[in-house]
Amino acid sequence: MALTGVEIFKMLPKTNCKKCGFPTCLAFAMQLAQRKASLDACPDVSEDAKQKLGEASAPPIRPITIGAGARAVKVGEETVLFRHEKKFVNPSILAITIKDTDGDDAVAAKISECLTSEIDRVGQKLKIDALCLVNESNDAGKFDALAKSVASKAPDVAVILSTENVDAAKAAIANFAGKKPLLYGATEANAEEMAKLAKASGASLGIKADGLDALSTLSDKVKGLGVDDIVLDSGAKTAKEMVEHNTYIRRAVLKKGNKSLGYPVINIAVRGDNMLETLIAGLGIAKYAAVVVLSSAEKWKNLVMFTLRQNIYTDPQVPMQVEQKVYEIGSPKPESPLIVTTNFSLTYFIVAGEIENSKVPTWLAIMDCEGLSVLTAWAAGKFTASKIAAFIKDSGVEGKIANKELIIPGYVAILSGALEEKLEGWKITVGPREANALPSYLKSRTA
Amino acid sequence: MAFTPPKETNTGKVYSVTMGTGDKAVTIGGENVLPFHGFEGVVPNKPVIAFDVMDIAPVDWPDTVREIYAGVSDDPVTWAKFCVEKFNAKAICLRLAGTHPDNGNRSTAEAAETVKKVLDAVSVPLIILGSNHVEKDTEVLVKTAEVAKGRNCVIGKAQEANYKTVAAAAMAHDHLLIAMSELDINLSKQLNIMITQLGFNKEKIIIDPMCSALGYGLEYTYTVMERIRLAALTQNDVTMQQPIVGDVGMYVWKIKEVSASEDTLPMWGALKERGIGWEAQTATALLMSGAELLIMRHPEAVAAVEAFINEMI
Ligand code: B12
Ligand code: SF4
């Protein structure tokens, strides 16, 4: 449970020496309690206080990193239940399963599905984050063979090792030294050995129990065995159980100060029907799963899941936006067309993408409208004739182009008259409404 | 350590609203907890999905969904019957898109005639929507509400600019009413208040906070719905306790992701599954945030969402 300012104050040196940048120890303590300052700022704090305060100021849901290097992924650290309160922090990890009973071709196909999953959407690179190796055979040799194959073919990908068989775990985990895999399979029965193995291998430990009571007990137990990085599986088999368990866990941790379950949650979304599996993954993404395990990652399915994850994890206060400037799409020449629109990321990427499709080099003037779409910006009075005119004049684009013609989005056709008045000597042309009409529109202009 | 479930019980409750008449009538809402939180309260009714049917042929729908209705979609009556008989539609949404001045400008009389015929042909509940042209809708919805009297339909959408007439028509002929505002909890609340101030029963309103598709503003709709539900339940705000509708199909089946071919965009994968997945995912996201009624287009997307609902209860 978080400490109050006064409780923290009691542990500080109480000298009011100001080295922390605050006038008094009490003022510093108040800031610490609100997580607005870091304990490191006080050079004189005792080791004992450091430890106690460190524990108390740790994020309620422990951050955990799976994998190492460029493809390492971090989960946990969430601070709210609903996204309007505050931005969700670390997007859910999507992992696809490979079983050690799968044939070589199937294994190769799954690995390549993961490695080629990256899609660029609205300027973000989205991908399948991890491979979940499943010890379906319960045989240590087979699991080790699969681990070897993955470690060599996909050396950078974060790995989850799913097995309750300690020998199989030992064999497989040796292939991922220094790569922080998630060892997923500690149960009441094997907790001691799994905990030992996880510690020895620098792995985080996924613990499995049937229900939240048993999960709490098991969590306390492995913590007592010295494991810090824990991932929780409550045994939720259905969507109904997922919502119930995930909600109770997050609520208990954030609102009741529960420590036993202050860790990221893993959910299995694997279903017989692929469309249903996609929707169950969506449930995990929206409702508090840190790791979602899937059976497959077809491209259509990825696009659906990635987009949902991006939507749910965007900052509710700040729309995604791009910098205001005149972008050169293709290599525009003085006689190339000039288009203006707003700096909402989605708007920019859609319009820029369609200009690229058209293969017609174009000047794309992106105006700062605080990240609002064309119509929203217009309705909010940020994309008006006078503001557009001022932006075009200040942008210096006039010196780069041969014809003073400006193409505006079809949805704001209404602005054309006023713009012609404000931008003297310019011709204002109304473009199509939807960006997907841009390729044929731009081509027909040059034809 | 034993775990004590941190149950949260609420003072507020969503009104339960029954649409239609007879044994095909359906009820939505009634829960006193967040969506699918049956573990800490009562969730008496499942969400309902209505199939989207139009008074004009769906020429601008992408192939994936248009071809399903090939041969029936020239006529709203056959189209509606097809949805009920073939896909077991629990409700129909008749969208009078052809009454829009820019889209055929069908007359009010024609629209009323269509509504009458569809009502005669199907016994499931009917949602009757205008073309989203505020002036024309007033006329069209007044007349259609009249011919639909006695069937307890859902009339919509009433917006700030036309709610007085549309609500009066729904009230005069005993229908339910969709109140649509634009992605803002305060606007939604305000519209509900203005409608009830006309004497309209607050328990006969369905909130449309405005839909948006996955990847195209879904997070805004998601969060507005979530906030409306929280206000209804945790603050017992009686002006926000109506069921919520997600007009999903219309927003989904016009974006690039559901129509661009795999040949042009290989990174996006199979077009058919992509389209169905897009509609289904948009729909389930909104169910999780608060919607009880959905309007959808692709039967496979509907089936997937129903499978999801069944796993959730
Ligand atoms: C999400 C949203 C919001 C979000 C903001 C999201 C954002 N970052 O902009 C929020 C909730 C904040 C919001 C607020 C408001 N909104 Co709003 N909002 C929407 C919504 C649902 C989607 C907008 C969107 O993201 N579109 C996607 C982007 C990519 O579209 P776009 O920028 O227009 O780009 C497309 C085309 O214009 C074209 N294009 C773009 N540039 C160019 C250039 C050329 C040359 C060409 C050819 C084409 C082209 O390409 C794109 C794809 O085709 C729309 C309704 C809808 N479904 O469209 C309403 C909408 C835009 N909002 C509207 C309104 C009125 C408002 C508010 C004023 C009212 C309110 N509810 O409070 C406020 C104002 C905001 C403020 N700060 O004051 C109205 C505008 C009505 C009008 N005609 O004026 C709309 C249309 C809803 C409606 N039907 O009434 N909104
Ligand atoms: S640096 Fe430490 S001892 Fe000095 S005022 Fe700040 S909290 Fe107190």
Whether residue A1 is predicted with pLDDT greater than 50 in this model: the reply is: no
- Characterize B271-280 residue by residue with b for buried, 16 or more Cβ atoms within 10 angstroms of its Cβ, and e for exposed: bbbbbbbbbb
Q: How far apart (Å, rounded) are the C-alpha atoms in residues A124 and A71?
A: 15
Q: Residue whose CA is closest, atom 32 of ligand 1?
A: A373
CA A13 to ligand 2: nearest atom: 3
CA A17 to ligand 2: nearest atom: 4
Ligand 2 pocket, Cβ-based, cut-off 6 angstroms: A 12-13, 15-20, 22, 25, 28, 42, 44
For A263-295, the DSSP string reads S-BEEE---SSHHHHHHHHHHHHHTT-SEEEES
Burial class (CB in 10 A: 0-12, 13-18, 19+), B166: buried
Nearest CB to A311: which of B4, B215, B311?
B215
Question: Can you read off the two tokens belonging to residue A392?
Answer: 């075009």
Residues of B in contact with A276 (CB under 8 A): 304, 307-308, 311
Beta strands, E only, A212-350: 230-233, 266-268, 291-294, 325-329, 338-342
Q: Do A84 and B226 touch (CB under 8 A)?
A: yes
Which residue stretches of chain B have pLDDT < 50? none
Determine the 3-state secondary structure of B111 from DSSP. Answer: helix
Query: Residue B92 — φ and ψ, nearest 5°?
Result: -120, 140
Whole-structure pTM value: 0.90
Burial class (CB in 10 A: 0-12, 13-18, 19+), B122: buried
For A58-127, the DSSP string reads S-SS--EEES-GGG-EEE-----SSTTTS---SPPEEEEEEETTS-HHHHHHHHHHHHT--EEETTEEE-
What is the average pLDDT value for chain A, to the nearest integer? 94
Whether residue A447 is predicted with pLDDT greater than 70 in this model: the reply is: no
Q: First and final CA of chain B: distance in angstroms?
A: 29
CA distance A102 to chain B (A): 24
Q: Is the peptide bond before B202 cis (omega within 30 degrees of 0)?
A: no
Site to probe by mutation for ligand 2, drawn from A10, A22, A30, A46 as the one with most ligand atoms within 8 Å of Cβ, is A22
Cβ atoms of B51 and B93 closer than 8 Å = yes
Identify the CA nearest to B156 among candidates B192, B104, B208, B225.
B208
Chain A residue closest to B312 (CA)?
A240
Q: What is the pLDDT of residue A58?
A: 77
Q: How far is the CA of B245 from the centre of ligand 1 (A)?
A: 20
Q: How far apart (Å, rounded) are the C-alpha atoms in residues A298 and B270?
A: 8
CA A19 to ligand 2: nearest atom: 1
Q: What is the pLDDT of residue A204?
A: 98
Q: Which of residues 221-280 of B touch A (CB under 8 A)?
A: 222-223, 226-227, 230, 256-257, 266-271, 273-274, 276-278, 280
Q: How far is the CA of A374 from the centre of ligand 1 (A)?
A: 6
Residues of B in contact with A275 (CB under 8 A): 273, 276-277, 280, 300, 304, 307
Q: How far apart (Å, rounded) are the C-alpha atoms in residues B151 and B172?
A: 13
Q: Residue whose CA is closest, atom 42 of ligand 1?
A: A409
Residues of B in contact with A373 (CB under 8 A): 217
Whether residue A441 is predicted with pLDDT greater than 60 in this model: the reply is: yes
Which residue do the tokens 């985080």 mark? Answer: A204
Q: How far apart (Å, rounded) are the C-alpha atoms in residues B15 and B207?
A: 12
Chain B residue closest to A215 (CA)?
B3
Q: How far is the CA of B72 from the centre of ligand 1 (A)?
A: 34
Within A324-425, residue ranges assigned H as helices are: 345-358, 374-379, 385-395, 416-422
Q: How far apart (Å, rounded) are the C-alpha atoms in residues B4 and B1?
A: 9
A 10 A CB-CB count for B11 gives: 9
Q: How far is the CA of A45 from the centre of ligand 2 (A)?
A: 8
Chain A residue closest to B287 (CA)?
A283
Cβ atoms of B93 and B16 closer than 8 Å = no
The tens digit of pLDDT for each residue in A280-316 reads: 999 999 999 999 999 999 999 999 999 999 999 999 9
Q: Do A213 and B2 touch (CB under 8 A)?
A: yes
Q: What is the pLDDT of residue A446?
A: 75
Determine the 3-state secondary structure of A161 from DSSP. Answer: strand
Residues of A in contact with B6 (CB under 8 A): 248, 251-252, 255-256
Determine the 3-state secondary structure of B304 from DSSP. Answer: helix
Identify the CA nearest to A237 among candidates A262, A258, A260, A208.
A208
Q: Do A304 and B214 touch (CB under 8 A)?
A: yes
The tens digit of pLDDT for each residue in A379-435 reads: 999 999 999 999 999 999 999 999 999 999 999 999 999 999 999 999 999 999 988
Q: Do B311 and A215 touch (CB under 8 A)?
A: no
Q: How far apart (Å, rounded) are the C-alpha atoms in residues B232 and B9?
A: 13
CA distance B236 to chain A (A): 18
Chain A residue closest to B182 (CA)?
A376
Residues of B in contact with A280 (CB under 8 A): 308, 311
**Furthest CA-CA distance within chain B:** 70
Q: How far apart (Å, rounded) are the C-alpha atoms in residues A373 and A378?
A: 8
Residues of A in contact with B304 (CB under 8 A): 273, 275-276, 278-279
Residues present in chain B in total: 313
Cβ atoms of A219 and A252 closer than 8 Å = no
Q: How far apart (Å, rounded) are the C-alpha atoms in residues A267 and A284?
A: 7
CA distance B263 to chain A (A): 13
CA A22 to ligand 2: nearest atom: 6
Q: How far is the CA of A7 from the centre of ligand 2 (A)?
A: 15
CA distance A152 to chain B (A): 25
Beta bridge partners of B296: B51
Determine the 3-state secondary structure of A14 from DSSP. Answer: coil
Chain A residue closest to B311 (CA)?
A239
Q: How far is the CA of A53 from the centre of ligand 2 (A)?
A: 14
The tens digit of pLDDT for each residue in A83-96 reads: 999 999 999 999 99
Q: How far apart (Å, rounded) are the C-alpha atoms in residues A326 and A328?
A: 7
Nearest CB to A216: which of B3, B36, B214?
B3
Q: What is the pLDDT of residue A2?
A: 64
Q: Do A300 and B268 touch (CB under 8 A)?
A: yes
Q: Report the alpha-carbon angle A13-A15-A21, nearest 5.
A: 95
**Mean pLDDT on A103-115:** 95
Q: How many CA atoms lie within 13 A of A25 on its CB side?
A: 16
Ligand 1 pocket, Cβ-based, cut-off 6 angstroms: A 319, 339, 341-342, 344, 346-347, 350-351, 371-376, 378-380, 407, 409-411, 431-432, 434-435, 438; B 182-184, 187, 212, 216-217, 220
The tens digit of pLDDT for each residue in B101-145 reads: 989 999 999 999 999 999 999 999 999 999 999 999 999 999 999
Cβ atoms of A160 and A290 closer than 8 Å = no
Q: How far apart (Å, rounded) are the C-alpha atoms in residues A90 and B136?
A: 47
For B172-213, the DSSP string reads HTT-EEEEE--S-HHHHHHHHHHHHHTT--GGGEEEE-----
Q: In whole angstroms, how far apart are CA A236 and each of A75, A233, A246, A267, B147?
A: 19, 7, 9, 7, 50
Q: How far is the CA of A54 from the centre of ligand 2 (A)?
A: 16
Site to probe by mutation for ligand 2, drawn from A18, A30, A39, A53 as the one with most ligand atoms within 8 Å of Cβ, is A18
> Is the predicted ipTM greater than 0.90, yes or no?
yes
Cβ atoms of A100 and A133 closer than 8 Å = yes
Q: How far is the CA of A15 from the centre of ligand 1 (A)?
A: 56
The tens digit of pLDDT for each residue in A39-65 reads: 888 999 998 888 888 776 678 999 999
CA A347 to ligand 1: nearest atom: 29
Q: How far apart (Å, rounded) are the C-alpha atoms in residues A395 and A426?
A: 15
Q: How far apart (Å, rounded) are the C-alpha atoms in residues A147 and A81?
A: 36
Site to probe by mutation for ligand 1, drawn from A322, A375, A408 as the one with most ligand atoms within 8 Å of Cβ, is A375
